Amino acid sequence: MMKWANVKLFALNLWHNATTPKTFYLLYTIFILLTAYAAVSSIQNHIIQNDIRKDHQVKARQSWEANPDKHPHRMAHFGTFAFRINSILGIFDYGLESFTGNTVFLEAHRQNSVNFSEATFSTGTLRFGELSLALLLQLVLPLILFFIGFSSVAADRQNGTLKILLSQGATWKEILFGKSIGLLGISLLFYIPIFLIVTITFLVFGDQAVKDFRWTRLLIIGLGYLAFLFVVSALTIIVSTSSSNPKNALLRLLGIWLLLVVLLPKSAQAMGNYWFPTPSKLAFQSAIEKEAIQKGDSHNPDDPHYNKLRDSVLTAHNVSEVTDLPFNYSGFVMREGEKITSNLYKKHHANLINIYRNQNDVTRFSSFINPFTAIKQLSMIMAGTDFSSYIDFQYQADTYRYQLAQAMNELQMEYISPKKKSGSEGKTHVVGHEHWEEFSDFSHKPMTFSNSIKEAFPILTSMILWIIIAFGLLLFTSKKARAI
Amino acid sequence: MITYKLFLKQCIRSKEVWISLLLIILLGIIGIIIGNKHLERQQQAIAEVNSYQEEHFDRHVSLHNDDLGLLLYYANFAYINTLNPLAGLSIGQADVNPTVKRITIKTFEAQKFDTDLVNPMNLQSGNLDLSFVIIYLFPLLIIVLTFNIVSEETETGTWRLVAIQAKSRLGFIISKLLVRLVLLFAVLILVFLIAKFVLHIPFNANFLLMIGLSLLYIIFWFTLTFFVITFKKSSGFNALLLLSIWLVLIILFPAGINAYISSKYPVPEALSTAIAQRDGYHTKWDTDKLATIEKFYQHYPQFKKYGYPTDGFNWLWYYAMQQMGDDDSKTQREALDQKIKLREQTSMQIASVVPNMHLQLAFNQIAGTSMGQQIDYLEATHAFHEKLRLFFYPKIFEGKHADTIDWDQFTPEYYEIESKVQPTKYLVPLLLASILMVLLSIPKARKV
């Protein structure tokens, strides 16, 4: 049985030992300064970036609305831009923000690439990493905990304190749990300021009108890191207990850090990339092109698919020429063409996304062998800066693109004279400019909370598993541990 | 000589040393395999475009033989960034930037920054290439091999013996370090030799420069550990201090500097250019045709002879409008170029005092995978685009048929990366950093 009074005693003892040396305060000050720097630069960057994007969204819209009366197909090509808005939790965890494009041009017939990621405009130094609050918690804080805790049991063993403690009636369980809790307490000293900064940023800068479940997300992130810090604290104490001397304990902990933080995540992603190769852009595009030609090429005057379509439309309306139809036939053909090519693109794009998902799954499921990956993934997903949030943006943009193209095709069918067979030039066959305003602007909605949870489900499972493993290992070590 | 042999024996007799040496060689090989995979993928993309282009032209010539203007609305021309096998050692920015660009003669700005298919997770996780192994992991190995070479002797009590017997205690420490330095040099050269054969790298100045820089970088870390060792603190203290230095230099500095650069120099110009080129072209559908054509002739007076066709749709007017997409976004484009240059310059300047960042940027430049070289490639793509325009404009305006043009001449073209290698500029900062560390060590080293 564990006596809670004893557990508390060991926790306080570790706390006291850790916070006595002057170096602790030096370390703490450095960490807080880093936190302040990371917070200021990420809040600043977040605001600047979102302002730039919102500003350009407005500018792009203004030019759209400023168009005079014209042929709707011209408007379908005039198109518009979708700018990706970074979620408010992006100030905490940049996630993929710097590696995903933020601007896509939306027009009829064409699915353009999402351009201008930070990485495109950066030198190779970006790959060293980015200083975010999440990085401090995921990468630096564990190291600090290792530095503080590596000798906590090993040193007691070396100087004989352990023997005395155990002979006076303390149990290994009490020592291990007590010290783990003590170390967790120390980690809170580092963790709470960061958590407070994010909360305050929410209150000060956050646009409260946006329904993005930010508080729930923050709560999950908060609990996630708490669990993570517990796992790291327990791990430190376990390694310290099972090492013969403090030096070995430190070397082992550093080895673990290097393996779990640097090598494993990098190799996991590299393996995913190796097993599920991404096709080249040309292969991707030409596969769509080939299939589109098979399905029917609206540009080819002798295309059987469109000839058949024309004949059936003519028969249905009981006329012999397309110019006698009650609507503009060219608009009709374009609507049909857009439908076919969009579906094709969607199908191929879904395949591509599946390849990416397969690549990423290697990393995702490595959460079950790597708690550092687990928290990294959870944090990114809940911050809305992960892969699925980016794909969600692409999807929203493409859906808008399709609606825009089809709205213009329908305007053409309705308002352009059936006698106008083709071409969109000139001032005679036009649609009133009031229609441009009617079609509302693109606005990037944050990823829904339920989708994020779905995405995070395996990660949450692995987090729970890690807590259980940490408990199990503490118990296991307490049975095996030797005092000498 | 005998002492050195003994030192070597002493160094490699521990199991941990062997394991860590083997581990780093293994990681080096993995890095080379990853680099090789990267090169293979690029080669495959190039092979695909080579076989595709001819077929692409055949199809469009047969579809639009009598309408060259329409044909060139669809026709894509490939421009390839020639691969340097050294890119397999330092992938740099080559994973985010496309190696093959396929462009039409329409507005260039609308195509310039189109990206390849990339999984952002791959970009974020970064490449485990050989440059990563050298820059990140070699320093760790150096720390592991050297942090206790003196403290170990003091802690086991042999230091006093050394102090009495050795001619010079400083000489003793330096010899111990030299043995480890030579050992790591051997490992590094072995890894580079493997890379040479796997990636088919020719023995040239650039390859040797890469090796030379790596050796200097290793020397820098040795001088740094020497500096720490001369304080004669305990093993634990040395390990903690050296690892903290590693963390600060390799992770916190670069990360902090990136944060600084990206918030100091945001790139709204990219977004403004995108909107300006769209408006530049598309609004011309509604404005006076004569004015558009006049503006076009101001840019290309040599085409004035094709007159001012303003009746209905015609290709001269159409391509004049497309040209306006580029011409009207010139201010924004130039501002963007300026900003990118500024970002690169700032990054280079700061990096020159942080050896690992400096080495990464130097590697990327030698391998042709730096951001600056990507921008040069885009500039060259622009020139290629201009060449195509000048070739096709008169033929379109004269209403020539597509089959009067020899399409076989349009095989994909290759861009040779301009070598911007400046050996002294790369070597000096690393050399200075090592010298600085030695100078800093002198006061303490005298008293060991």
Q: Which residues in A lie closer than 8 A to residue B286 (C-beta atoms)?
A: 67-68, 70
Q: Which residue of B has its CA nearest to A259?
A: B137
Mutation target to probe the B interface, by most B beta carbons within 10 A, among A143, A151, A260, A281 is: A281
Q: Which residues in B lie closer than 8 A to residue A96 (C-beta atoms)?
A: 120-121, 123-124
Query: Å from A103 to nearest chain B CA?
Result: 7
What six digits make up the tokens of A271? 């393996």
Q: Which residues in B lie closer than 8 A to residue A63 (C-beta atoms)?
A: 275, 278-279, 283
What is the DSSP pairing of strand B413-415 with strand B77-81? parallel
Query: Å from A3 to nearest chain B CA?
Result: 34
Query: Å from B148 to nearest chain A CA?
Result: 11
User: What's the average model confidence in pLDDT over A331-342?
Assistant: 93
At residue B263 the predicted structure's pLDDT band, cuts being 50, 70 and 90, is confident
Closest alpha carbon to A170 in A4, A308, A416? A4
Q: Which residue of B has its CA nearest to A94?
A: B124
What is the DSSP pairing of strand B413-415 with strand A103-106? unpaired
Of A121-125, A156-160, B35-39, which one has max mean pLDDT?
B35-39
Sheet of strand B413-415: strand arrangement:
B100-103, B77-81, B413-415
At residue B235 the predicted structure's pLDDT band, cuts being 50, 70 and 90, is confident
Select the residue of A74, A265, A278 nearest B117 (Cβ to Cβ): A278
Q: Which residue of B has its CA nearest to A126?
A: B258
Write the CB contacts of A396 (distance below 8 Å, at least 6 apart in sequence): A82, A442, A444, A445
Residues B316-358: tens digit of each pLDDT: 999 999 999 999 999 999 999 999 999 999 999 999 999 999 9
- With CB atoms and an 8 Å threshold, state whether B272 touches A363: no
User: What's the average model confidence in pLDDT over A13-42?
Assistant: 93
- With CB atoms and an 8 Å threshold, state whether B37 touches A274: yes
Which range (A80-89, A96-105, B14-23) has the least confidence? B14-23
Closest alpha carbon to A453 in A216, A138, A100, A206? A216
Q: Which residue of A has its CA nearest to B60?
A: A300
Residues A389-435: tens digit of each pLDDT: 999 999 999 999 999 999 999 999 999 999 887 888 888 889 999 99
Residues B128-179: tens digit of each pLDDT: 999 999 999 999 999 988 988 888 888 888 888 887 887 788 888 999 999 9
Q: Which residues in A lie closer than 8 A to residue B140 (C-beta atoms)?
A: 258
User: What's the average model confidence in pLDDT over A70-96?
Assistant: 95
- With CB atoms and an 8 Å threshold, state whether B123 touches A119: yes
Round to whole Å and give the CA distance between A445 and A84. Answer: 9
Q: Which residues in B lie closer than 8 A to residue A272 (C-beta atoms)?
A: 122
Q: Are B339 and B283 in contact (CB under 8 A)?
A: no
Q: Which residues in B lie closer than 8 A to residue A356 (C-beta atoms)?
A: 119, 121
- What pLDDT is stored for residue A1 in this prediction? 67
DSSP state of A386: S
Which range (A167-171, B90-94, B155-159, B286-290) has the least confidence? B155-159
Residues B416-432: tens digit of each pLDDT: 877 778 999 999 999 99
- With CB atoms and an 8 Å threshold, state whether A352 touches B251: no
Mutation target to probe the B interface, by most B beta carbons within 10 A, among A127, A269, A367 is: A127
Residues B215-229: tens digit of each pLDDT: 999 999 999 999 999
What six digits make up the tokens of B387? 């060449």
- With CB atoms and an 8 Å threshold, state whether B126 touches A266: yes
Query: Å from B437 to nearest chain A CA?
Result: 23
At residue B15 the predicted structure's pLDDT band, cuts being 50, 70 and 90, is confident
At residue A484 the predicted structure's pLDDT band, cuts being 50, 70 and 90, is confident
Q: How many helices (H) and strands (E) in chain B?
A: 20, 3
Select the residue of A113, A125, A423 nearest B257 (Cβ to Cβ): A125
Mutation target to probe the A interface, by most A beta carbons within 10 A, among B124, B155, B364 is: B124
Round to whole Å and give the CA distance between A177 and A160. Answer: 20
Q: At what angle do helices A371-383 and A449-480 cross, to 10 degrees?
A: 160
Reported ipTM exceeds the 0.95 cut: no
User: What's the average model confidence in pLDDT over B253-279?
Assistant: 94
- What pLDDT is stored for residue B428 in this prediction? 96
CB atoms within 10 A of CB A164: 12
B203, B207, B208, B210: CA torsion to nearest 10: -170
- With CB atoms and an 8 Å threshold, state whether A269 touches B121: yes
- What pLDDT is stored for residue A35 in this prediction? 97
Long-range contacts formed by B424-429: CB under 8 A, 24+ apart: B426/B209, B426/B213, B426/B358, B426/B362, B426/B365, B426/B366, B427/B212, B427/B213, B427/B216, B429/B352, B429/B353, B429/B355, B429/B358
Q: Which residues in B lie closer than 8 A to residue A428 (C-beta atoms)?
A: none
Q: Which residues in A lie closer than 8 A to residue B369 (C-beta atoms)?
A: 124
- What pLDDT is stored for residue A155 in this prediction? 86
Residues B56-87: tens digit of each pLDDT: 999 999 989 999 999 999 999 999 998 899 99
Q: Which residues in A lie closer than 8 A to residue B320 (C-beta atoms)?
A: none
Closest alpha carbon to B431 in B207, B223, B269, B142? B223
Query: Å from B34 to nearest chain A CA?
Result: 8
At residue B1 the predicted structure's pLDDT band, cuts being 50, 70 and 90, is low
Select the residue of B243, B263, B361 nearest A254 (Cβ to Cβ): B243
User: What's the average model confidence in pLDDT over A168-178?
Assistant: 93
- With CB atoms and an 8 Å threshold, state whether B275 touches A56: yes
Q: Which residue of B has its CA nearest to A46?
A: B263
- What pLDDT is stored for residue B382 in this prediction? 97
Select the residue of A250, A278, A286 nearest B236 (Cβ to Cβ): A250
Q: Which residue of A has its CA nearest to B265?
A: A45
Closest alpha carbon to A116 in A128, A98, A129? A98
Mutation target to probe the B interface, by most B beta carbons within 10 A, among A125, A260, A425, A436 is: A125
Helix boundaries (H) for B64-168: 68-74, 109-112, 120-125, 130-132, 138-146, 151-156, 159-165
pLDDT > 90 fraction of chain B, expressed in percent and rounded: 81
Query: Å from A202 to nearest chain B CA?
Result: 20
- DSSP secondary structure of A35-54: HHHHHHHHHHHHHHHHHHHH
Q: Which residues in B lie closer than 8 A to residue A126 (C-beta atoms)?
A: 258
